[in-house]
Amino acid sequence: MRSAALLAWGRPILTLVLVAIAAIASKWLWIYYEVDPWTRDGRVRVDVANVAPDVSGLVTEVDVVDNMPVHKGQPLFIIDRPRYAFALRQVEGALQQATAGVQQAEAGVQVQTPSCSRPAGRTFAIASSAVLCRRKQSNRGLRASLNSRPPSPRPKPP
Amino acid sequence: MIAEINVFGVFFSGALATACLAGIALLVVRRLLFRVGFYRLVWHRHLVDLALFIILWAAAAMVTPALAETIGRMW
């Protein structure tokens, strides 16, 4: 009984499933043979992409061949690596020089503006700052003593 | 896609060729399905035949370019 019912419903279902697959297949066939473009004697005449580098120089290495598929970010060719490496080294040297100049200038600034309690990094800085401090303090003391005196003709600076 | 087939200077549509292939395949498949008893399980025999033919046609159209390329490489 149950198998009879299965057959009664199964027959149309199986047939219709096949027909549905055939419908999808026929649509694909229509697109494949009628909609998609095709040509009997087509020629691709111009298929050249111009590429331009950001910097100038001799191309020392080409990493691609004709009709090779490439991806975004892939190096196509290398421009004059030794010369640019040399330029980089030169610039780095200049940077080092400039940094040294800055350090030197900072040391000079330390020498120029000492504070008596501040521990300086270098012996000559300590010595000179101590000297300067003393001189400044003596100046301050002199000025204070001048101010405390009754008004008088302005004293000559030392 | 194989658009046309050159038979001694006469160009035939690729669709015709794949349809012929599908028809030949359908003869074989039908005979096999008869032997298995598949046709007792279906509703309208000829509708199923037509559906099978279209499916085989699409299969032939899908397969022939790769097949032709392989054969061309072997030559």
Mean pLDDT of A83-96: 93
- For residue B51, give how far its alpha carbon lies from the nearest alpha carbon of chain A (Å): 5
User: Do strands A59-62 and B4-7 pair parallel, antiparallel, or not at all (unpaired)?
Assistant: unpaired
Which region among A82-86, A145-149, B14-18 has the lowest average model confidence (pLDDT)? A145-149
- Please give the model's pTM, rounded to 2 decimal places: 0.48
Q: Which residues of B touch A12 (CB under 8 A)?
A: 43
Q: What is the three-class DSSP state of B66?
A: helix
pLDDT in tens, chain B (75 residues): 777 888 888 888 888 989 999 999 999 999 999 898 888 888 888 999 999 999 999 999 999 888 888 887 777
B contacts of A33 (beta carbons < 8 Å): 1, 13-15, 61
Among chain B residues, CA nearest to A34: B15
Q: Could you give the CA distance from residue B21 to residue B62 in angstroms, rounded to a whole number?
A: 12
Q: What percent of chain A has pLDDT over 90?
A: 23
ipTM of this predicted structure: 0.83
In the chain, the amino acid numbered B42 is V
The count of residues in chain A is 158
Contacts B59 to A, Cβ<8 Å: 25
Of residues A1 and A67, more confidence is placed in A67
Residue type at A122 in one-letter notation: R
Of the ranges A37-51, A58-72, B10-24, which one carries the lowest mean pLDDT score? A37-51
Res. A25: pLDDT tops 70? yes
Distance from C-alpha of A39 to C-alpha of A119, rounded to nearest angstrom? 88
Task: Using alpha carbons, list the distances in angstroms from residue A84 to A78, A96, A108.
Answer: 11, 18, 36
Nearest to B55 among A15, A25, A39 (CB): A25
- Candidates B75, B73, B60; CA nearest to B1 is B60
User: What residue ranges do the domains of chain A occupy?
Assistant: 115-146
Q: What angle do CA A20, A21, A22 make, to 5 degrees?
A: 90
Helices B14-36 & B45-74, crossing angle to 10 degrees? 120
In B, which residues are within 8 Å of A21 by CB distance?
51, 55
Query: Is A30's Cβ below 8 Å from some Cβ in B?
Result: no
